[in-house]
Structure 1
Amino acid sequence: MSSLVATTAVRGRFLDIQNTVAQARDIHAQVRYVEDGLLITQNGKIQWFGTWQEGQYQLSPNTQVEHYPEQLIIPGFIDTHIHFPQTEMVGAYGEQLLEWLNTYTFPTEIQFKDPDYSAKIAQFFIQELLKNGTTTALVFCTVHPESVNALFEAATAQNMRLIAGKVLMDRHAPEALMDTADTAYSESKTLIEKWHGNGRNLYAITPRFAPTSTSEQLEKAGQLKAEYPDVYVHTHLSENKNEVAWVKELFPERQGYLDVYDHYGLTGSKSVFAHCVHLEEDEWQCMHKTDSAIAFCPTSNLFLGSGLFPLKKAWQAGVKVGLGTDIGAGTSFNQLQTLNEAYKVQQLQGDKLSAFESLYHATIGGAKALSLDDKLGNFNVGKEADFVVLDLNATALQQLRQSKTKNIEDAFFALMTLGDDRNIAATYIYGHKAYVKKSSD
């Protein structure tokens, strides 16, 4: 290897899922655990992965090897639904979805017309992602283009693979947060041209949800998607029963909530719908038929009292699912804590969420939901080198619990049940160490 090439070599214990699967029962066969492994990255991509015994001969004599003998290295966490402007209002008391938006969310988002304010929160948000081991996220901004520019600029500084977009909202919101069908189209078009495919940035057409967009605006969103078929669509669907009833009132001519989006050309393989707690049978079929994806947001669904997401049904229906923190209705940036709540959501429905299925949804499953599984989600050669180093013993309780674990599956389950940001020892973005835990963190 040329010394001019940016090379990173990392040695330690590695755990990933080698391939996407059609059914949860198939995940176990795809688990790859390397007790003493070596990952070599070159210019941001994985060049070699395997055992240390074999891999050491791939290294030139002057290559520095970063060794994590006690930690566990997994692919970076992928967050398929999060709101960066809601970072400052996590844990807002006492409301369900529609009241929560009016009481807390909209007043907070008005501030993001100010580019300096947007930049300040965007910087904090990106650092918080890194601190929690999240290397890729699908992100809501606000209606203001300033918020989108600020977020992409902060992500670009870290070379992150990020998907985001300007919110489209032309009714049922404060005047200061509304655009029009035409400005939604023109501003989104400008932002797509500026950011989509610029470095590792990708763009998402982002109607907030059907109630806050007129038919004219949704038509413009569909026009954008037709003109730029490679961009994403990111919105909310069937989160709350009152919301579902409201959509039926607003769009009586449509068969249901999802049919609103489908009618305007907003479903598809790069369309991600957050929540989907209350889907009807024909909507599950439409999700599968259109290859649309769901962002499962357990901490948010519990915090707002929205309901229990039927993950087992998603597998049965053949619908892609990723994990979302949904800050700020969600209560943590951390995917370990999110998995802890996801496990409980399934328990309440009489189902079990295994450690390896949890890892799947947080990594390669999330990548599949974002149509990025060719680039992200595991340690296969050629993938982008985004990964996280986990300290399994960040607290005295964790140390005691880990001392009693039987195998790597048990160890990861204990980690996701007891873990949080204190377990993130280091986060690597595109082969570069972007975050290291300090003793004060």
Structure 2
Amino acid sequence: MSEESVDGAAALIAATEAHSARNYHPLPVVVASAEGSTLVDVEGRRYLDLLAGYSALNFGHRHPRLIAAAKEQLDRVTLTSRAFHHDRFAAFCSELAQLCGMEMVLPMNTGAEAVETAIKTARRWGYQVKGVPSDQARIVVAGGNFHGRTTTVVSFSDDPDARDGFGPYTPGFDVVPFGDEAALEAAVDDRTVAVLLEPIQGEAGVLVPPAGYLAAVRRITAERGALFIADEIQSGLGRTGRTFACEHEGVVPDMYVLGKALGGGVVPVSAVVSSRAVLGVLSPGSHGSTFGGNPLACAVALEVIAMLRSGEYQQRATELGTHLHHELSTLVGGGSVTAVRGRGLWAGVDVAPRFGTGRQVAERLMQRGVLVKDTHGSTIRIAPPLVIEKDELDEAVEQFRAVLSA
């Protein structure tokens, strides 16, 4: 490692801190290139990526099929806005609707935009279809949720970092404990237009609800005439071993909210996917996005859909996830790891506080060439690209073990 490269990394970090808002606290690594599950920093050091852009990189960095699709589209047309039709839009909408078992698609860019779209759609549906009195619609959400950081979304967040100092907050939301069927049933009434949930809560520490909970959500919403909106931005598109996490309980919601992996780690792509009866309440001018559903985004997302149709990535997440959870479970019981949970290639690892904060553990792993991210104090999130190899997972777990033994 040359002195110049070290100085270069330090200078880049200093410039970042001097000229960008401090709304993130990244690990002190400066990535210069990446491929598959490997990142390389400006000093030439290699790292295993066990975060995968919070599932945005389910197919790894620069997957050849996705890069080829993007390059081909770059030579044709990248943006038209929705003022005109373009030749990739119809295929994107129909293929994504078919993948989801739905009828209609409304594309956006980021996950937070898609959640906002779902909220607006549910409210209008409630007024036009369910007959809720004007401005009285309610949406039930779960405590510990993470659906983004827009003003409306943080209004029903209980994370002080995301919420504090951003009021006044948007009304119309009822918060119940995640996984509590009785509390949910008690909260849904005649004014409830939707229940909005993550099938597995990612930011909260990869929390899997009790068995039967999602089926209960489906039953309650169907009985009470409310929409079940599944935020599968992180859990969907192969991460848990199924195309959607809801499939583990045989549940089909009224609406999927998708993002992250839909753009293949190349461009931001998100979407709300639902029935004609639900998305049909929107009319020209009622919602939109300049970049939503642009030709470049559609081209990449179409390739993502084709890759998911093969079932290869769901199978990898299942098989490698079983192996990962088995290996992580060996860390429990020695006083260093108190719990491991998750599904597929997605895990939350609770580290005993005496070993330091989650941030400190992540920094120690970074020094050993493994990149993870902490959440909620001493929990480490693990979500590697679905293209990772078994021996790479083993190496990562061994480095985790070494950090906890040091």
TM-score, reference length from structure 1:
0.27
TM-score, reference length from structure 2:
0.29
- The structure with higher relative contact order (CA 8 Å, sep 6+) is 2
Higher relative strand content: 1
